[in-house]
Structure 1
Amino acid sequence: MIRKLSSKSKNFDSELSSLLSFDNDSNDEIYEVVKKIISDVQTRGDQALISLTAKFDSLDVSSMAELTISKDRLKKSFDNLSNDQKNALKTAADRIKSYHQKQISKTWTYTENDGTVLGQKITPLDRVGLYVPGGKAAYPSSVLMNSIPARVAGVEELIMVVPTPNGICNDLVLAAAYIAEVDSVFTIGGAQAIAALAYGTGSIPKVDKIVGPGNIYVATAKRQVFGSVGIDMIAGPSEILVICDGSTDPDWIAMDLFSQAEHDEDAQSILLCPDKDFISQVENSIKKLLPTMKRVNIISKALKNRGALILTKDINEAIEISNRIAPEHLELSVEEPESLLDDIKHAGAIFMGKFSSEALGDYCAGPNHVLPTAGTSRFSSPLGVYDFQKKSSIIMASPEGANTLGQIAATIADGESLEAHARSALFRTKNK
């Protein structure tokens, strides 16, 4: 059902490496399929989107107008929700906005003694594309997490694409777009939607950056268009790592492991704990609770393929292993989580204490749920306002500053054999 490992095992290092290994790259066949789709959209624009949507989503239309969701339709979807659903979405949106407002960067400058002004200008992106999964995977939370930070950053226009196989729309997704004040929504998906956002068509404007999760075709398309347009990240399967001292209800821990395993068969759920008896309790909880889950088959495969209950020497060793794994989600399900925080080096999001379930972060705590996976939290951060802002350096030399800096620049330029650089700098000096 789920493997059990021990850090004391002489083969533990190789066993852990095997557990963590995952190829997130597309194969050559997928790469070529996506390449052709992107080329088709670049060449035929809207007509390609219409034919590809018919092919992949079984949605036959004659014009892009039929693949466009009006703002009235978004409002209708919101109005159709129950009061509980409306309140949940609005409360989550408010909390996400409040959190991300604290991330806003502003233009800054300082003046040196000779009057030279240096600084950095912060400017929001003009237009952002939001990819939202559709069909079986309908995630209103993804709409909120991707669009609200962009709005807080000052992005002027949000373009959302969401596939609707067989024409089936999800009211929660459309309602979230209404709450987030998305400007335009198109019912297209897959690599063709990424291509449309990256290069523009007659109906869909070219964006500056594309954010949002998708399947392997979407991820491959994002890789291929990167450079022509910015992207957030190439996300791998969901991950959760729980460090527990044995003081939490084992049923809670089992369900926390399920919470990521239910995403797909490649998701990863790991428990690190120094208490052997508690690991056995969690294993029993898994056996007890798994048959009650609607996604029992997906969870079972994920736990069998990439899950593990790992016995560690102590909590400190658990932290060392966690830092090696660099998980997307890290739960510190211990009595005094604050005492461990300084030692955590790599994690997308850190959930402190037994009452902080990862699920809260997915929906409504406030911090973004778009997080680095596959060990990339070693060098990446959660999606935030900073992803929708760009920075420009400010340099305004005073006459005195130009004289001092010009001579320094000319000396270095001469060393690089770049005469025009040197003379350009020297022209503005007193010794020109």
Structure 2
Amino acid sequence: MYPDRVVSGMRPTGAMHLGHYHGALKNWVRMQSELPCLFFVADWHALTTHYDDPSIIETSTWDMLVDWLAAGVDPSQATLFIQSRVPEHAELHLLMSMATPLGWLERVPTYKDQQEKLADRDLSTYGFLGYPLLQAADVLIYRASMVPVGDDQVPHIEMMRELARRFNHLYGKEKGFEQKAQAAVKKLGSKRAKLYTELRNEFQEQGKAEALEQAKAMLEDTQNLSMIDRERLFGYLEGSRKLILVEPQAHLTESSRLPGLDGQKMSKSYGNAIALREEKEDVVKKVRTMPTDPARVRRTDAGDPGRCPVWQLHQVYSDTETREWVVNGCKSAGIGCLECKQPVIDGILKEQEPMRERAQQYLDDPSLVRAIIADGCDKARKLAQETMRDVREAMGLSYG
């Protein structure tokens, strides 16, 4: 069995905003201290929709990486790298494409959805149709056990699992597998071998998922097995195949509770975003000019926080006492809208302060970011090369 590992990536969209922080980066920062994490810039993915103008990709990549570091992603805990610097991603994508049914790609929910949203672009390209397969290769090449995603991305993870399963079924045939697996069972010792056989039979004959989980847990605890025997026994549990690619699980992340300045989802394209490292005076100006409850035309008019975008920001940035003060003051016209906005301004600036400090060293010396990425690419590439050795061998392409 392979060790638990988290993989996640983002397309390089340039400077990040606070919605990205609350929706993804905050979660990355938490996960990096719990499990080995690999976070990558998905620069090839940017080409699936912007192949006709790739000029902004490089600048956007470095800007985004500085924001990740500013948000607290720590290169001493997580591996940061750029997708195109690890060409094995493309090799696995190519090899998997040979056996991926077209129908699987066409049924991905975001395929038609994105075509409609980006109707101004010609997306009748293989790159756009095949991007879920490249996305799967990005994860499967690291044998990741977990991918942090929002609800909307769960179908993509399910597809990754199906692709891994199909690959293992097609190419996990090892000469003499059954005999080698049975020899590995004996190495467990009589007591564990008996339990393993019972659990395998329960799963294969009765479909008991808990028997499968129990057997896997037992194998993980067994110390005296070689990696190859362990792999065989995991494959033998589910059939007569060797596991080459690991089926990842979706790790659901909380959707960002941070709306944009107009109450819609925060997005640069809506012009309602606050950048992660926005200048202080710009933050003050943006929040002070936010729309409020339309019923409060004059200072003396009472309002309803439920109809005000500023109230949604109080939910994120203010404590209980401040929120009570806002509700009472707004409904009684006891406070004005500018007074109400001040705690939000203070909360945003307080959140951004350590980000600005962390970013400064990288802005002063961009070679630091490049060194972090060079190191991360090396680490990621070593892991990717291990997987590709196994993939080539399974597909009869190792020519050893």
Whether these two folds match at TM > 0.5 is no
Give the structure, 1 or 2, with the largest relative contact order (CA under 8 Å, sep 6 or more): 2
Q: Which has the higher strand share?
A: 1
Which band: TM-score by shorter chain? Answer: under 0.3
TM-score (norm 2): 0.22
Q: What TM-score does the superposition give when structure 1 sets the normalisation length?
A: 0.21
More helix by share: 2
